[in-house]
C-alpha cells in the first residue's frame, strides 16, 4: 500500500491507496504530521511506498522519519511525468498542478482535459489529446476575494462564504456575496466556454475545497472530484516505481 503526503503550510492531507483505490484519508495540522503518519501505519500495517508534495513546508525531523520508514518519492518539476510538459517555466509550475494533470492522464487518457482547482487560488490546467500540457490560468479564489475587499477598503466587512440567495444584493453583505460567488461562477463558466470554442471534445474536471459548492451551480457539464489531486500523486508514485 502507498502513503500520499500532500503538505500545506498549516494543514496536511494524508491518504492511503491500495493500488489505485483510495482506502483512507485524513487532514491534520502539518506540525503533527509524524503522529498522523504513525496512526495510519498502525491501522494499515504494510505501508511501503510514500510520495511527498510541497516538501519545503515539512520540518527536517518529519522528512527524516518518512525517508526512514518508506521508499520515498519527492515530487518536483524534475520528477518523471506521464505527459509532455510544454510550460515555458517548468520550475515555477506548482506541484499541485502537476499532480492534477497526472490524475487526468490516468483517468481520461488521450482526451482534451481542462482541470479546474477551486482552492485558495483558482487554477486552470489544460492537457490536449496528444498528451501535451499547455498551461492554463490562475485567478483569486473565493476566500481571497472576500479578504481582498476587506483588506483593501475602509468600510467592507470580512464575511464568511455564502451562496447568494438573489442575483441583486439588497444590502452590503448580500451584494458582496453576489459579487464574489456569482463572479467566480461566471468566470468558470466563461472559461469553459472559451475552451469549448477551440476544443469541442473537452472533458472538464472540477476539484478543490470549493468544488462541492460550485459544482451545484455551474451551467457547464463537469466532473466533480474532491480527491483528484490525491489520485494524481498516487499515480505519479506508481508511475515512477514500476
Q: Which segments are annotated as binding site?
A: 6-13, 87, 94-97, 117, 120, 172
Catalytic residue among 2, 96, 125, 210: 96
How many beta carbons lie within 10 A of that of residue 49, not counting itself? 18
96 classed as catalytic: yes
Phi, psi for 58 (deg, rounded to 5) = -90, 140
Residues 78, 31 contacting (CB under 8 angstroms): no
The phi and psi torsions of 160 (rounded to 5 degrees) equal -80, 150
Question: Which positions make up the binding site for K(+)?
Answer: 117
Helices (H), 70-135: 95-107
* Whole-Å CA distances, 43 to 23, 47, 108, 191: 11, 10, 32, 43
* Grid cell digits, residue 232: 494524481
Nearest to 124 by CA among 111, 132, 110, 113: 113
C-alpha torsion 74→8→92→119, nearest 10 = 130
Question: Active-site positions?
Answer: 96
Amino acid at each position: 500500500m502507498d502513503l500520499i503526503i500532500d503538505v500545506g503550510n498549516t494543514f496536511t492531507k494524508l491518504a492511503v491507496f491500495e493500488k489505485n483505490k483510495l482506502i483512507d484519508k485524513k487532514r491534520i495540522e502539518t506540525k503533527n504530521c509524524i503522529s498522523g503518519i504513525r496512526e495510519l501505519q498502525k491501522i494499515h500495517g504494510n505501508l511501503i511506498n510514500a510520495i511527498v508534495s510541497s516538501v519545503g513546508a515539512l520540518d527536517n525531523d518529519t522528512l527524516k522519519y518518512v525517508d526512514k520508514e518508506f521508499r520515498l518519492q519527492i515530487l518536483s518539476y524534475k520528477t518523471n511525468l506521464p505527459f509532455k510538459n510544454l510550460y515555458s517555466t517548468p520550475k515555477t509550475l506548482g506541484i499541485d498542478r502537476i499532480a492534477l494533470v497526472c490524475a487526468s492522464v490516468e483517468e481520461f487518457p488521450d482526451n482534451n482535459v481542462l482541470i479546474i482547482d477551486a482552492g485558495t487560488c483558482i487554477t486552470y490546467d489544460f492537457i490536449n489529446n496528444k498528451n501535451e500540457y499547455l498551461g492554463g490560468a490562475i485567478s483569486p479564489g473565493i476566500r481571497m476575494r472576500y479578504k481582498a475587499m476587506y483588506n483593501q477598503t475602509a468600510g467592507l466587512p470580512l464575511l464568511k462564504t455564502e451562496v447568494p440567495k438573489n442575483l441583486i444584493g439588497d444590502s452590503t453583505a448580500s451584494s458582496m456575496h453576489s459579487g464574489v460567488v456569482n463572479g467566480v461562477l461566471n468566470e468558470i463558466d466563461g472559461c469553459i466556454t472559451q475552451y469549448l470554442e477551440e476544443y469541442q471534445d473537452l472533458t472538464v474536471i472540477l476539484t478543490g475545497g470549493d468544488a462541492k459548492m460550485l459544482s451545484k451551480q455551474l451551467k457547464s457539464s463537469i466532473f466533480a472530484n474532491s480527491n483528484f489531486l490525491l489520485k494524481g500523486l498516487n499515480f505519479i508514485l506508481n508511475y515512477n516505481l514500476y
